[in-house]
Chain A
Amino acid sequence: MRAWLACCVFALLFFTQSHASAQPTQRTVTLWHAYRGAEQQALEQLIRSFERTQPNVRVSVLAVPFDAYASKLEAAIPRQNGPDLFLDAHERVSSYRARGLIVDSDAVLDLARTEASGAGARLSASDVFEQVSLDAFSANSHVWGAPLALKCLALFVDEALYVRAGSPPLDELESLSAFTDGRLGEGVVPLVYYASNAYFHAPILHAFGGSLLDPADGRYAFVGERAERSVQFVTQLQRDHVTPQELDGAAVSQMFRAGKSLAAISGPWMLGELGDRPVRIVALPRLRQTGQPMRSFVTVEGALLAQHAREPALARALAAFLVRADAAQVRARVGRQVVATRAAWSDPALAQDRTLQPFLRAARVGLAMPTHSNMRLAFEPANQALRRALRDPAALRVALEAGARRFAVGTRPLPPASNPLWLQLLLGSLALTAIYRTVQRARDPVFRQSVRASRTAYAYVSHAVIVVGLLVVSPLVVGALTSLYAGRDGALSYVGTANYREILTAQGAGLLSSGSFYAVLLVTVLWTLANLVLHVSIGVILALLLSRTWLSLRGIYRVLLIVPWAVPSYVTALSWKGMFQRQTGAINAMLHMVGVEPVSWFASFSTAFTANVLTNTWLGFPFMMVVTLGALAGIPQDLYEAAEVDGASAWQQFWLITVPLLKPSLLPAVAMGAVWTFNQFNVIYLVSGGEPDGGTEILVTEAYRWAFTRQAQYGYAAAYAVLIFGVLVLLTRALDRVTQGPARPKGENS
């Protein structure tokens, strides 16, 4: 029966494999994108029209999850498995260029200009496309993508509340402060926006003449007088109750949607969440205090030509097709995009579109997000500085300067390249020593005897050694060797142990200063201990209860209790984060019912840490419970009968029978659990996100930040990984001594 089942699965597998191959007779151009919903629908509609115009061409489209998009492109394109054309935002162009993943789109723009010009005089690129979109994609006198759509911030106004407020003019942000007197209704605020996020703060900063990053030389600019004044302005808005404190993006759309605020600053992505609530959208106002407009950052999405394309000509043709005026109109009408092709807006319906026109106006006055590769690096320190400054206005200057220091750490000059000769010598001599020792031992007759005796065992383990060696160990060894290299955006050079030296000396700052290796290690150890104690104790207690036959309904209890393990953690972690939200979360709502003041969960280390531990306990106890249940099932019942005959109490039975017999099955699970918790990335990243000020960050999330948000400094991240590995080896050795010291003669006992 079981063999039959396995055959079925194999047959199914074969069946699905054989279907995956593509038709070879036509020419196929491959397009990757991460669009969803209406934008995806519009894109697919356009691809069908493109296929109609080119009868022998098929477009193979792949919609990739956004979270895996960049890493997939980065892995696939250099190995010639990538797409011919892909859609992405202009901020990532500089990184793609540095890695050689894209070629310029000059030819596509030429095609588009020729097409748009028709019989008349030849149009210039800025006649065809919005200027801001060309700014965004231009670098080194080339254009690196065909501009598709603009994304920026605008002001959303709740129509019903607006009428109730007497339809006031909204050309100055400060005019909203007239509605703080409660006339909008109970609990309704004038404005909601994600104030502690640098992207949403940028329009205010720009109105004060400041900037996050100097676009020319990539210098961090969120310090100094203008930055301080912009933050003080927001602090004043919060003091005057114009806008509430501690809102995140999700809470903003939640409150606005629920009719709890007159206005919201957000982007086109919020449109899909509004349901049928009547909304008026206007371009961002200006600030009365400075008289300057709030200029939003503009992100431009474009079609990028991939390096190593198999069908480069078709890719160019498809890109040119997507930016044509009629195609842009489809994207605007169906996909609700603010399209970058000027001629598309001549369509009368689009010219009067009450949603898209305000966004277009906002984009025209907006600033293209700087393409300097430092830009993505600037957001993390700027966000941290902003959060800290808004939480503690007295420490404004300190917070901003701390941000600048963090940025400086991220962009510090790379360590000088060194000669890999020493590494080669070291590896060579290690290999020689190993060979020498093997030969020495092979001569030893006792050793040869024991090897011969081990042959039966080798027959059992050989295949495991081969597969694990190939697919688990070798990628890890490659990863470990990367730690001897340094570089950004994929350009690596050998630097010896420089990465380790920088990490272990905390880059010159105090050894226990926040964010240093040792401080983070301390938090990580605390995190692991707290979780382990809770996981094991809750898991074992529940398993003991659930293994009793007298407990009715235990079958149902057992299934319900594994629910936290069964539901994917990337969803439930977000659910927990939502529950901890200060303004809208369920936990503060519960506290409110028992008369406790709302808690700002992520504002202090202890509460943020508690939130993380609570989430991970919830995620982790079912696993320990299941393992314990399995282990309990293996304990022979007659032992308990014998113990009872001998007069042992229930307590003695637990310590003398259950615990020792649970140990062999439970210890590996506990050891593994400790290691996994030590490296638990998802919970920290999704729930507290390192808040406050990176204080709840653990080693592995630091490593990930270096690899993925700080210009892909893989070498540095790999050095973190090797250090994590070293710490774990030491810790498990110490644990081994503690837990197994006296009780080790296990294995010989039967």
Chain B
Amino acid sequence: MTPLQRPPPLPWRMAAHAAVIAAVGFALYPVLWVVSLALDGAQRPSGRALPWPVAPSLDHFRAVLFAHSREGTWLFARQLTNSIVVSAMTALTAIAIATPAAYALARFPKFVGAQSGTKALLATQMFPGVASAIPLYILLDKLHLLDTQLGLILVYATTAVPFAIFQLRGAFESIPKDLEEAAMVDGATRLQAFVRVVLPAARPALAVTALFAFMSAWNEFILAATFLSHESAFTLPVALQRHVGEYDAAWGRFAAGSIIVSLPVMALFYALQKNLVGGLTSGGVKG
């Protein structure tokens, strides 16, 4: 048992639990208001400190889950599929583009253009996209990718690439070089060493990066609503945003929809968290 995993005395453990529980309370409180809004017909129950629905019912959830289009398509299922496809492909594409680039930056940090490339990459994150929706629209139009999920995936994935490269470069840098050199001495090519040795060791960082790319696509609606022109191609956040009008909003449905939208993300995180902490217990990287 390593020092960090050895239980401290009871008072310390209780203090740790208290701190974490306080943080959980802080994290959940505003969301409980959203939940109570979703369960209640009332618009934001007023003047109370505890988020408790007045007359709970599942009507809003039903309305969101069982919406059908004019042609009789079950919209929720269709849009959930769209969202899953778009977000998963975004994560995969972003990782596929970013991983080799990040590896090159970590292992050959002195190649010509590495420095200015890294700076340019960081710079893309600094420029607010106030007016970039219309140039992007024109670009996708020219590439005949407008109104397709492929176009949306490309846009989302490339937006996620700069952060992914930075995140993965840091992870690759902290993996000792000797690991892959040992593999190469044993006869593996650099590519084999990369795939068999480096990638498994970088699993936690890959998981975080993929989750991040997935999330950024999962919640985006402005670009999706601008680029897509078929209701059956919409993603869930676009459908969710339909509950907000110019003057008012269907708060109950909006809240119910947002809870439904966030459940898959939490499930995904739950599934990925073994990767996040895997290194701790199995001692993944030992020099």
Contact = CB atoms under 8 A, between A and B. Distances in A.
A724 B125 CA distance: 11
A740 to B, nearest CB: 13
A603 interface: no
A311 B123 CA distance: 45
A40 B237 CA distance: 19
Interface string A452-480: 01101110110111011011111110111
A629 B277 contact: yes
Interface in B226-263: 226, 229-233, 237-238, 240-248, 250, 254-255, 258-259, 261-262
A567 B123 contact: no
Interface string A654-672: 0000000100111111011
Interface string B101-144: 10111101111111001001111111111111111111101000
A707 to B, nearest CB: 5
B97 to A, nearest CB: 5
A332 B158 CA distance: 47
Contact of A79 (B104, B121, B127, B141): B141
A514 B102 CA distance: 43
Interface string B1-38: 01111111000010011011001101110110110010
Contacts of B254: 571
A298 to B, nearest CB: 14
Interface in A456-510: 456-458, 460-461, 463-465, 467-468, 470-476, 478-480, 482
B33 A575 contact: yes
B64 interface: no
Contacts of B5: 548-550, 637
Given A66-B245, A254-B43, A586-B49, A9 B88 contact: yes
A479 B139 CA distance: 13
B207 to A, nearest CB: 7
Interface stretch (A313-321, A353-361, A715-723): A715-723
Contacts of A17: 148-150
Contact of A633 (B204, B222, B237): B204
A471 B136 contact: yes
B263 to A, nearest CB: 8
A431 interface: no
Given A17-B150, A551-B16, A72 B130 contact: no
Interface in A360-408: none
A667 B173 CA distance: 13
A630 B205 contact: yes
Contacts of A48: 70
Given A269-B248, A468-B161, A579 B33 contact: yes
A664 B47 CA distance: 47
Top 4 nearest A-B pairs (CB, nearest first) are A633-B279, A454-B111, A460-B104, A68-B225
Contact of A567 (B31, B124, B221): B31
Contacts of A269: 245, 247-248
A451 B127 contact: no
A565 to B, nearest CB: 7
Contacts, number: 446
A636 interface: yes
A550 B6 contact: yes
A584 B44 contact: yes
A306 B158 CA distance: 33
Contact of B276 (A551, A618, A630, A722): A630
10 contacts: A16-B82, A17-B150, A68-B238, A450-B110, A461-B117, A473-B120, A475-B139, A561-B27, A566-B269, A567-B34
Contacts of A643: 3
Given A258-B46, A473-B124, A668-B167, A717 B130 contact: yes
Contact of B158 (A9, A467, A559): A467
Interface stretch (A57-65, A125-133, A176-184, A227-235): A57-65
B217 interface: no
Interface of B is mostly: helix
Given A547-B277, A549-B5, A566-B269, A636 B285 contact: yes
Interface residues of B, number: 154
Given A589-B48, A626-B211, A724-B126, A633 B280 contact: yes
A181 to B, nearest CB: 22
B112 A447 contact: yes
Interface string A627-656: 101111111111011011000001001000
A36 interface: yes
A579 B37 CA distance: 13
B183 interface: no
A679 B128 contact: yes
Contacts of B278: 633
Contact of B170 (A13, A478, A668, A722): A668
Interface string A158-180: 00000000000000000000000
Counting chain B CB atoms within 10 Å of each CB, which of A71, A75, A467, A653 scores highest?
A: A75
A480 B135 CA distance: 11
A640 B33 contact: no
Given A65-B244, A460-B103, A558-B273, A251 B46 contact: yes
Nearest to B171: A665
B101 A464 contact: yes
A707 B266 contact: no
Contacts of B202: 634
A89 interface: yes
B3 A640 contact: yes
Contacts of B3: 640-641, 643-644, 650, 653
